């Protein structure tokens, strides 16, 4: 009986998986099978101890934690199939914990680099004014690019300097804008937005030159263009400004819970990564400047 082929046939017919995901399962289980054959073992004779030993082996040969976690997910899926298909009486992967994947620290800009980037759009025509307002607002509020392009005119309170932002889980949050971003947002709305679309029916805040709502892809191109113009060597994405917003607030003493609320994080542990980045910076500055470091 070829258990791997049976497993892959099951995945193809019962699960709606992408080609890449299927290939990943196939590669992971064949690698496990090869390891077992070297030990004169077979897939249906595996025990929990053998799986743990295999995961330790992957670690010893230098596999990344994320790769080991993915392997374990594939193994779990395979042995759930084996149990369901009655090729085995028990699932040896039950209650095995995935190794914790350490979150990579996101890339951020220095305050000087942010200034370089934000100085690039010239707010003297519709394009420059729109681009300036978008970049300033993104850095001023830390909202996601999907939230930025989804803003409507009704979400902006220019009198009180606030925006109403709707996240992907439909939760609403109010975020202060800040005087500089507010200045360029007012300029765009009052003087230039109608030049992109005179239609009163379109309530989208940021529009492209077809008078349609700005897309994430469209804004990505804007970021790329101004990054090149500013001669910044770092790779900058819309999310880079969100990360920079959070880190710069922490550097200036902002409360972590306030930042969590503005970013729209449901779990404060997600926000704490920015605090960790700030601690790393403190250590770096200390080691460079303290005479006895």
What CATH number is attached to the domain comprising 42?
1.10.150.130
Residue 104 belongs to a domain: no
pLDDT of residue 36: 93
Look at 176 and 188; give whichever has higher pLDDT. Answer: 188
In a domain? residue 90: no
> Is the domain of 115 the same as that of 80?
no
Residues 216, 279, single domain; the answer is yes
Q: Is pLDDT above 60 for 21? A: yes
Bridge partners (DSSP) of residue 177 are: none
Please give the tally of structural domains in the chain.
2
Q: What is the pTM of this model?
A: 0.58
279 and 195, same domain (yes or no): yes
Is there a domain that residue 37 lies in? yes
Residues 48 and 177 in one domain: no
Residue 102 lies in a domain: no
Residue 224 lies in a domain: yes
Average pLDDT over residues 148-171: 84
User: What is the CATH number for 125?
Assistant: 1.10.443.10
* In the predicted structure, residue 282 carries a pLDDT above the cut 50: no
64 and 130 fall within a common domain:
no
Whether 251 maps to a domain, the answer reads yes
Do residues 149 and 73 both lie within one domain? no
In a domain, 93, yes or no: no
Residues 41 and 116 in one domain: no
Per-residue pLDDT at 260: 74
């Amino acid at each position: 009986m070829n258990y791997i082929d049976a497993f892959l046939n099951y995945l193809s017919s019962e699960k709606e998986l992408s080609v890449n995901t299927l290939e990943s399962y196939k590669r992971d289980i064949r690698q496990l099978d090869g390891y077992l054959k070297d030990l004169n073992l077979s897939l249906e004779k595996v025990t929990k101890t053998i799986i743990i030993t295999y995961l330790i082996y992957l670690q010893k040969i230098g596999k990344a934690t994320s790769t080991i976690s993915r392997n374990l997910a594939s193994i779990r899926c395979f042995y759930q199939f084996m149990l369901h298909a009655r090729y085995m009486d028990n699932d040896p992967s039950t209650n095995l914990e995935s190794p914790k994947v350490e979150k990579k620290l996101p890339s951020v800009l220095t305050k000087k680099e942010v200034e370089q980037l934000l100085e690039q759009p010239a707010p003297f025509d519709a394009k420059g004014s729109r681009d300036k307002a978008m970049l300033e607002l993104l850095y001023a509020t830390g909202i996601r690019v999907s939230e930025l392009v989804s803003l409507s005119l009704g979400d902006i309170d220019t009198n009180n300097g606030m925006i109403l932002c709707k996240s992907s889980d439909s939760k609403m949050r109010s975020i202060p804008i800040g005087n500089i971003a507010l200045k360029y947002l007012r300029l765009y709305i009052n003087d230039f937005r109608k030049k992109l679309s005179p239609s009163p029916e379109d309530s989208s805040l940021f529009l492209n030159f077809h008078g349609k709502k700005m897309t994430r892809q469209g804004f990505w191109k804007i970021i790329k263009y101004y990054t090149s113009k500013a001669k910044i060597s770092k790779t900058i994405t819309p999310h880079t400004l969100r990360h920079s917003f959070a880190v710069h607030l922490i550097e200036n003493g902002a409360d972590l819970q306030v930042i969590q609320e503005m970013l729209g994080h449901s779990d404060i542990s997600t926000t704490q990564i920015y605090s960790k980045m700030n601690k790393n910076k403190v250590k770096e500055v200390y080691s460079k400047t303290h005479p006895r470091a």
